[in-house]
Amino acid sequence: MKYKIVILLTVTLITGVFFTFQYLNPASRTQTITLNGAGATFPFPLIDKWISEYHKIKPEVQLNYQSIGSGGGIKQHMEKTVQFAASDAPLTLEQSLVANSLHIPITIGGVVPIYNLPGNPKGIKFTGETLVDIYLGKIRKWNDPRILEINPTINLPDKDIVVVHRSDGSGTTFIWTSYLSEVSKEWKETVGKGTSVKWPTGIGGKGNEGVAGLVSQNPYSIGYVEFIYAKKNNLTWGLVKNAAGEFIEPGLKSFAAAAAHAAVSLPKGDADWSKVSIVENIINNTQATGAYPITSFSYFIIYKELNVLPNMDEAAARALVEFLWWMLHEGQKYSADLDYVPLPENIVKHNEETIKMVTFNGKKLLG
C-alpha cells in the first residue's frame, strides 16, 4: 500500500512540475499574435476568405478586419490604430507625405450599377452620360427618352428613379465618381471624384451592404456596388458602354480585360500612388474591346517602418509580412471563385519588391 502512495505522490509531483514549467516558460507555449485591419467593403468577401483560410495554417495568428469603408480605413491608418488598412482609393499626395506608407494592390474588381424594377428586366444598358444625368438629377424617370433610346426592347415604367449612393467615405464611391468625372466635364467640375462627395440627389446607405439593402427595399431604385455584392444579394445589374462602343456585362472576364488593356505602369510601393487608376487609363481607349469600364485595383496600405505603430513588436511585424506574402501567392487562388481578378504576374512581382521594403527598427523582415 505504501508503494502505491509513493508512486502516486511521485506522479503528482512530476505532473505539477511539468505544468509549472509550462506556465512559467512562455517559450513552451504558442504565442497568439493579433493583427487588426479595417477599411474597404469592396474586397471584404475576399479578405474574409483569406483570414479564414490563413487561420487553418497559422492558428496562432489572429487576424481581424472591420469592413467600414475605405475612408474609415485610411483614417485609422493615418491615426495608427490598425496594423493594416484596405482601400480602393490610394492615399492622396498630402496623406503620402505625412505617412511613410506602402501601397500593395491585392485584387481587381468592378463597380456595377444595380437597379430594382418590377418584373426584374435583365440587362438594362447604360452609357456614362445617362448614369451621370441620373446622379445629377437630370434624368428623373425610368422611361426618359435617353434611357429608352438605348433600351428599345425593354418596357420601362413611367416612375421616378430613386437614386441610392454611399453615405460613408468609400473607395467604391471613389471608383464610381472617378468614372463619372472621366465621362462628364460637368460632373468633374461640379461634383468631382473622391471617397466622399456632395451628392446632388439621392439617399445614402452605409457600405456596399447598405446600398445593396436600400436598392433591394426600394422599387424603382438605382445604386452602385462592387460586383460580388450584386451577385451575393441576387440584385440585377446593368451593362455599361465602353470606349469601343460595346455594352459590357460586368464579370471576371471583362474586369480582367480592363486591367490588361490599362497596361498600368505602377510606381514603386513607397512612391505617390494618387494618380493610379484603371478607369482613367482605359476610358478613352477605343481598342479596349471586352473591357468593363468601371474597374479598379483594391489595396492594402501599411507603414513601411512597422515599429512606428503602437503595440507592434517584431514578432507581430513578421507575422503581418508573412500573411501579406501568403495573400500575394497562395491567397490569389481564392479570387476567381469570388469574382475578383487574380493579380497578374507582373503585379505579383511588383508587390514582392514592395513587401521586401518593410522593416522593423530598420531591420528588413524579408530578404
In the chain, the domains with their CATH numbers are 33-109+295-364 (3.40.190.10), 110-257+275-282 (3.40.190.10)
C-alpha cell at 297: 485595383
pLDDT digits (tens, 9 = 90+) for 278-287: 998 899 899 9
Helix (H) or strand (E) holding 34: strand 33-39
Distance CA 45, CA 338 (A): 7
Rounded average pLDDT over 95-112: 93
Task: Tell me, rounded to whole angstroms, the distance of Cα 311 from its chain centroid.
Answer: 26
**Residue 27, pLDDT above cutoff 60:** no
**pLDDT band for position 309 (50/70/90)?**
very high
| Beta carbons of 320 and 360 less than 8 angstroms apart | no
- As a residue count, the chain comes to 367
Q: Would you say the C-alpha torsion 166, 171, 176, 180 has a positive or negative sign?
A: positive
For residue 241, the one-letter residue type is: K
* DSSP category for residue 341: B
The CA distances from residue 199 to 84, 135, 136, 204, 205, in Å, are: 30, 8, 8, 9, 13
DSSP-based three-state secondary structure for 124: coil
pLDDT digits (tens, 9 = 90+) for 165-178: 999 988 899 999 99
What is the number of alpha carbons within 13 Å of residue 115 lying toward its C-beta? 24
pLDDT digits (tens, 9 = 90+) for 190-242: 999 999 999 999 999 998 999 999 999 999 999 999 998 999 889 999 999 99
| Beta carbons of 88 and 294 less than 8 angstroms apart | no
**pLDDT band for position 22 (50/70/90)?**
very low
Rounded average pLDDT over 61-88: 96
The CA distances from residue 246 to 105, 230, 239, 243, 300, in Å, are: 28, 21, 9, 7, 32
Residue that the C-alpha cell 438594362 belongs to: 124
DSSP-based three-state secondary structure for 81: coil
DSSP-based three-state secondary structure for 245: coil
| Beta carbons of 282 and 262 less than 8 angstroms apart | yes
pLDDT digits (tens, 9 = 90+) for 123-137: 999 999 999 999 999
Write down the pLDDT at residue 232.
Answer: 86
Write down the pLDDT at residue 18.
Answer: 38
What is the number of alpha carbons within 13 Å of residue 365 lying toward its C-beta? 25
Write down the pLDDT at residue 367.
Answer: 65
Contacts of 156 (CB under 8 A, 6+ apart): 117, 121, 124, 142, 143, 147, 148
140 CB neighbour count, 10 Å cutoff: 13
| Beta carbons of 296 and 179 less than 8 angstroms apart | no
In this structure, what are the phi and psi dihedrals at residue 152, rounded to the nearest 5 degrees?
A: -65, -20
